[in-house]
Amino acid sequence: MKPVTVKITSAAAGERADKALALHFTDLSRARLQEAFANEKVLLRGQPIAKSHHVAAGDVLTVELPVFPISEVVAVAGDLQIMFEDDDILVLDKGPRLIMHPGSGTGEDTLVHFALHHTGGKLSKLGGTKRPGIVHRLDKDTTGAVVLAKSDRAYLALTKQFAEREVAKEYLALVRDVPKLRSGSIREPIGRNPVVRVKMAVVPGARGKPAHTDWSVEETFGQSAALVRCWLHTGRTHQIRVHLAHLDHPLLGDYTYGWKPHGPQAIQPLRVMLHAALLSFPHPADGRLLEFRAPVPEDFLAVAAQLREEGRRHAKAQVVKRM
């Protein structure tokens, strides 16, 4: 694989090199990064560094990631939160830090491995044997509702529905600062970041693909953060993360797109604070409208509770100061 350069930001300054790179390469498995260090493929100023090396802001690392061959996907027992299942589809409430399907450097612990075990191998192979049943994706850190196709007719119907934007997708996000408007619509094209190819970005003209996100502020936490509900009308990679960062409101925990903690007691989520709260689509067999709401996970609720308490403390401090 062609080497990639990574510039260490102030948010990752002082971290171990392996942790700093994990914050940058959010969709890569830990095994793939560890292999790069073991093979001396992580360089600083042309010299290999250990994973325990503490990096500084402005350091430029050159990383050559190993390419792991993907073998046939096997069924592996694992924990799945099932929301609905019949002969055609399997709807799951995906947990955090769970990769959707196998790829270079992943282990046998993806959602697809677990789903194959649960269904006895009954996932559609029309999309390829390496990604059985997959018709859409959630990022590794994103939680919430996701649908897999068990039958071929379901795969064909669902891929058509996603392509023609017949699927309703609603997300909850915790973002930095409070938007000036209560709601809005973002229609900025998204494409590969021209400098850091593992990232996406708002890019002008034909270099980007059309992307449309509607959003509304649900709750504010003082002036430091807000809970935002988003509706996706397109399905670009990292769309919500890129669009909200473009508005200067990156998601909490999203180091890749500009978030960093503030102050010595700043809240530091262990993942990107994004949850797929609702998924709705016509059933691929009989056309009846299905709607699935995934409960907000405990870690998301805990961060929101911390923000709420921090907002109350700040409000009290402001009152005392005025008095």
| Domain boundaries of the chain, sorted by first residue | 4-63, 69-164, 167-278+293-323
In the chain, how long is the greatest CA-to-CA distance?
Answer: 69
Average pLDDT over residues 68-93: 88
- pLDDT surpassing 60 at residue 68: no
Would you say 171 and 144 are in contact if contact means Cβ atoms under 8 Å apart? yes
From the options 3.40.50.300, 3.10.290.10, 3.40.640.10, 3.40.1280.10, give the CATH code of 4-63.
Answer: 3.10.290.10
The pLDDT, as a whole number, for residue 13 is 85
> Which residue's structure tokens are 């939160």?
81
- pLDDT surpassing 70 at residue 316: no
Beta bridge partners of 147: 91
The DSSP element (H or E) to which 171 belongs, if any, is strand 168-176
Name the average pLDDT for the chain.
90
- What does DSSP assign to residue 257? G
The pLDDT, as a whole number, for residue 198 is 81
The pLDDT, as a whole number, for residue 263 is 61
- pLDDT surpassing 50 at residue 276: yes
The pLDDT, as a whole number, for residue 171 is 98
Class of residue 21 by CB neighbours under 10 A (exposed 0-12, middle 13-18, buried 19+): buried
- CA distances in angstroms from 52 to 49, 64, 277, 305, listed in the order given: 8, 18, 38, 33
71 compared with 110, residue with greater pLDDT: 110
Average pLDDT over residues 235-246: 97
User: For the CA atoms of the chain, what is the radius of gyration?
Assistant: 21
- CA distances in angstroms from 3 to 29, 64, 247, listed in the order given: 17, 4, 31
The listed range with the strongest mean pLDDT (25-34, 45-54, 270-279) is 270-279
| Distance from C-alpha of 78 to C-alpha of 100, rounded to nearest angstrom | 13
- pLDDT surpassing 60 at residue 70: no
The pLDDT, as a whole number, for residue 92 is 98
Average pLDDT over residues 59-74: 76
Domain 69-164, what fold? Pseudouridine synthase (3.30.2350)
Phi, psi of 143 (to 5 degrees): -100, 170
The pLDDT, as a whole number, for residue 210 is 94
283 compared with 130, residue with greater pLDDT: 283
Homologous superfamily of domain range 167-278+293-323: Pseudouridine synthase (3.30.2350.10)
Average pLDDT over residues 184-205: 91
Average pLDDT over residues 299-323: 77
Q: Put the strands of the sheet holding 47-48 in their side by side order.
A: 4-7, 60-63, 42-44, 47-48
Domains 4-63 and 167-278+293-323 share a fold: no
User: In angstroms, how far is CA 264 from the centroid of its own chain?
Assistant: 26
Q: Could you tell me the pLDDT band of residue 246, with boundaries at 50, 70 and 90?
A: very high
The SS3 assignment for 99 reads: coil
Catalytic residue list: 139
User: In angstroms, how far is CA 234 from the centroid of its own chain?
Assistant: 16
- CA distances in angstroms from 243 to 89, 97, 108, 110, 134, listed in the order given: 30, 22, 32, 27, 25
* Range of weakest confidence among 115-119, 241-245, 297-301, 313-317: 313-317
The pLDDT, as a whole number, for residue 320 is 47
- pLDDT surpassing 90 at residue 322: no
Measuring CA to CA, which residue among 91, 12, 104 is closest to residue 290?
91
The pLDDT, as a whole number, for residue 186 is 98
